[in-house]
Amino acid sequence: MSIREEVVNQAKKAQSASRDLANLSAQKKNEALLRIATELEDSTAEILKINAEDMEKGRENNLSKALLDRLKLTEERINKMAQGLREIVQLEDPIGEIPRSWKLPNSLQVGRIRVPLGVVGIIYEARPNVTIDVAGLCLKAGNAVILRGGSNAFNSNQKLTEIISSSLKAVGLPENSVQLIQTTAREAVDVLLGLDDYLDVLIPRGGEGLINKGVRDSTVPAIQTGVGNCHVFVDSSADQQMALDIVDNAKTSRPAVCNAAESLLVHKEIASEFLPQLEELFADRVELRGCEATLDIIPDINEARPEDWGKEYLDYIMSVKIVDSLEEALNHIYNYGSMHSEAIITSDYNNANQFLEEVDAAAVYVNASTRFTDGGQFGLGAETGISTQKLHARGPMGLKELTTTKYIIRGKGQIRE
């Protein structure tokens, strides 16, 4: 079979499985999730052995330390995956909810009922735990899923999906509900992007290149995730200690993730007082790249180049710009932001409101760290990614974002006049 035939074949099986999954009881779905959790734990030794092979190959291929860390599984990490599944069991089943139902003047009873999307495609990179998280969420929402994991984690992902399939089979669910693309060839991604006859949505997770490719080349409706060029704007009325704490947290608590701040905007009225404190705070920990006015105040840092304003560093680097006003900050964010997470630090009521109203992003903060943009933090449970687009889903995508609705209409013979 060619790669195309193989992938199309999997997509057909997924579509067939999705019909069976659509009307399963929550009880049955939870039984499957619990079974997967147990089998994961029971297979710890095997999983670790196979993951060690991926790690070995990764070292041979000179993967960075950071990538190797993301690839690595440990007993603790496997337990955490199982725990994640048990948390999904606790989430309310979104399927079958009727958010609204009403009667028309002609007595037709019209309602919207929540139903699964159908078949979800996910393209992701090194972390094998995504395999379990995403499969769990998709199953709970009644969807079949096709996974395309990173090539470095292929064997680990293979083992994990085997465990899922055998668990599903054991409790009587279609084993093709969760399938991993069986080749690491790039062609498989291209094939997947064109399968609008079989896939209902595609979620590319990972680097900017992958996401853009997914969104631009896909004929399957795709959801843009994760690129975060997030700003913190320190207004003239800001509590400066609060601002330092928040900037530190937003930049350094986990710089490689999409909700980390990349750029700092400082109101000119407090810049000469605030920036030296920031320089001291970051010292050797964070490289600052400043605009001209910033360099006038803290001349020892690097100069920001024009391309710095649009960059998602994902590293211990932060660009710094002094702005004349809230309006200039808003315009800068409008021009360079990626519509992910944006924060203002202020004590001014009107400025707080204006920032909340006018910033067009998935999450807009007053006096809090951008790092909270996360399904778990928001109390939504696990997530399949953070949408930075406006259609269908915006911000952390939980169970509900893996569903759609349909109208159901109950009549007694009504016809339209």
Q: Interface with a copy of itself by CB under 8 A: which range of 39-47, 182-190, 292-300, 403-411? A: 403-411
**The only residue of 373, 375, 381, 383 in contact with a copy of itself, by rule CB under 8 A:** 373
Decide if residue 405 touches a copy of itself (CB under 8 A). yes
What is the rounded distance in angstroms from the CA atom of residue 132 to the CA atom of residue 40? 10
Closer residue to a copy of itself in complex, CB, 263/369: 369
At CA 375, angle to CA 332 and CA 114, rounded to 5? 110
**The only residue of 5, 9, 19, 49 in contact with a copy of itself, by rule CB under 8 A:** 19
Closest approach of a copy of itself to the CB of residue 404, in Å = 4
Closest approach of a copy of itself to the CB of residue 113, in Å = 8
Decide if residue 270 touches a copy of itself (CB under 8 A). no
Decide if residue 413 touches a copy of itself (CB under 8 A). yes
Size of the site for a copy of itself (CB under 8 A): 66
Contact 261, 232 (CB under 8 A): yes
**The only residue of 83, 184, 219, 302 in contact with a copy of itself, by rule CB under 8 A:** 219
Contact 47, 78 (CB under 8 A): yes
Closest approach of a copy of itself to the CB of residue 97, in Å = 14
Contacts of 306 (CB under 8 A, 6+ apart): none
**The only residue of 4, 89, 311, 372 in contact with a copy of itself, by rule CB under 8 A:** 372
Contacts of 370 (CB under 8 A, 6+ apart): 228, 230, 232, 250, 259, 260, 261, 340, 341, 342, 343, 363
Closer residue to a copy of itself in complex, CB, 37/222: 222
**The only residue of 28, 49, 216, 305 in contact with a copy of itself, by rule CB under 8 A:** 216
Query: Of 83-112, which residues contact a copy of itself (CB under 8 A)?
Result: 102, 104, 108, 110
Query: Of 185-214, which residues contact a copy of itself (CB under 8 A)?
Result: 196, 200-201
Query: Of 239-258, which residues contact a copy of itself (CB under 8 A)?
Result: 239, 242, 245-246, 248-250, 253
What is the rounded distance in angstroms from the CA atom of residue 343 to the CA atom of residue 238? 12
Which element (helix H / strand E) includes 109? Answer: strand 109-116
Amino acid at 87: E
Closest approach of a copy of itself to the CB of residue 1, in Å = 24
Using H for helix, E for strand and C for coil, what is the string for 286-315?
Answer: CEEEECHHHHHHCCCCEECCHHHHHCCCCC
Closest approach of a copy of itself to the CB of residue 345, in Å = 8
Closest approach of a copy of itself to the CB of residue 4, in Å = 18
Contact 161, 131 (CB under 8 A): yes
Closer residue to a copy of itself in complex, CB, 154/274: 274
Give SS3 for 5.
Answer: helix
Decide if residue 409 touches a copy of itself (CB under 8 A). yes
Amino acid at 11: A
DSSP codes joined into one string, 15-77: HHHHHHHHT--HHHHHHHHHHHHHHHHHTHHHHHHHHHHHHHHHHHTT--HHHHHHH---HHH
Closest approach of a copy of itself to the CB of residue 389, in Å = 6
Decide if residue 371 touches a copy of itself (CB under 8 A). yes
CB contact burial 319-342 (16+ within 10 A = b; e otherwise)? bbbbbeebebbbebbeebbbbbbb
Tallying the residues shown for the chain, one arrives at 417
Per-residue tokens: 211: 């996401």
Closest approach of a copy of itself to the CB of residue 79, in Å = 21
Decide if residue 356 touches a copy of itself (CB under 8 A). yes
Decide if residue 25 touches a copy of itself (CB under 8 A). no
Decide if residue 364 touches a copy of itself (CB under 8 A). yes
What is the rounded distance in angstroms from the CA atom of residue 384 to the CA atom of residue 395? 11
Closer residue to a copy of itself in complex, CB, 163/364: 364
What's the longest Cα–Cα distance across the chain?
80
E-strand stretches of 184-270:
201-204, 230-234, 261-267
What is the rounded distance in angstroms from the CA atom of residue 19 to the CA atom of residue 174? 10
Closest approach of a copy of itself to the CB of residue 201, in Å = 6
What is the rounded distance in angstroms from the CA atom of residue 289 to the CA atom of residue 68? 29
**The only residue of 68, 190, 221, 237 in contact with a copy of itself, by rule CB under 8 A:** 221
Closer residue to a copy of itself in complex, CB, 68/378: 378
- Residue numbers of the site for a copy of itself (CB under 8 A)? 19, 22-23, 102, 104, 108, 110, 115, 117-118, 196, 200-201, 215-216, 219, 221, 223, 239, 242, 245-246, 248-250, 253, 334, 352, 356-358, 360-369, 371-373, 377-379, 389-392, 394-395, 404-416
